[in-house]
């Protein structure tokens, strides 16, 4: 069974790429099974640390297992897992150089190219009504 980890890539420490955890990420069953064999490895998986950077820790642990991130953008290079809500991404000033710009190795897109039509998740979409609204816009509008 093939192992992979999906999400947009962000570089960290030169060669280590990590998936922004805010919007979530997807792990295959095989990847999850491998991860569980080393989840308590304090040296490689930082299992005893308390931090909000679980996304970086997960990447470090999976890298130790030989598992790297997979590009989850669509054929038009539109993201599927999003750090921000759709309105912010749509209106993003792509010329503004900030941390989000600096951490994105592919560059940013806005307007109709900000988000793939089959987007998976948006960070900060926590209220049930907003999640239902996003689902209706993404999957039920034709």
Each of the 142 residues of the chain gets a pLDDT tens digit; together they read: 444 444 445 544 455 666 666 767 788 899 999 999 988 888 888 777 787 777 778 888 888 888 877 778 899 999 888 888 888 888 988 888 887 777 777 778 889 898 898 888 888 888 889 888 888 887 777 6
pTM of the entire predicted model: 0.72
Q: How many CB atoms lie within 10 A of CB 7?
A: 27
Check residue 133 and give left, alpha or beta (phi > 0: left; psi -120 to 50: alpha).
alpha
Are the CB atoms for 64 and 43 separated by under 8 Å? Answer: no
Are the CB atoms for 124 and 84 separated by under 8 Å? Answer: yes
């Amino acid at each position: 069974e093939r192992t992979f980890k999906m999400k947009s890539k962000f570089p960290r420490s030169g060669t280590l790429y990590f998936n922004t955890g805010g919007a979530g990420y997807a792990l295959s069953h095989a990847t999850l099974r491998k991860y569980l064999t080393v989840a308590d490895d304090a040296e490689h998986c930082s299992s005893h640390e308390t931090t909000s950077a679980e996304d970086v820790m997960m990447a470090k642990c999976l890298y130790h297992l030989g598992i790297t991130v997979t590009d989850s953008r669509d054929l038009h290079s539109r993201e599927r897992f999003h750090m921000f809500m759709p309105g912010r991404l749509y209106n993003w000033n792509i010329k503004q150089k900030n941390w989000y710009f600096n951490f994105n190795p592919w560059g940013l897109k806005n307007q109709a190219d900000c988000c793939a039509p089959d987007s998976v998740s948006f960070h900060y979409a926590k209220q049930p009504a907003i999640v239902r609204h996003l689902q209706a816009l993404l999957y039920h509008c034709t």
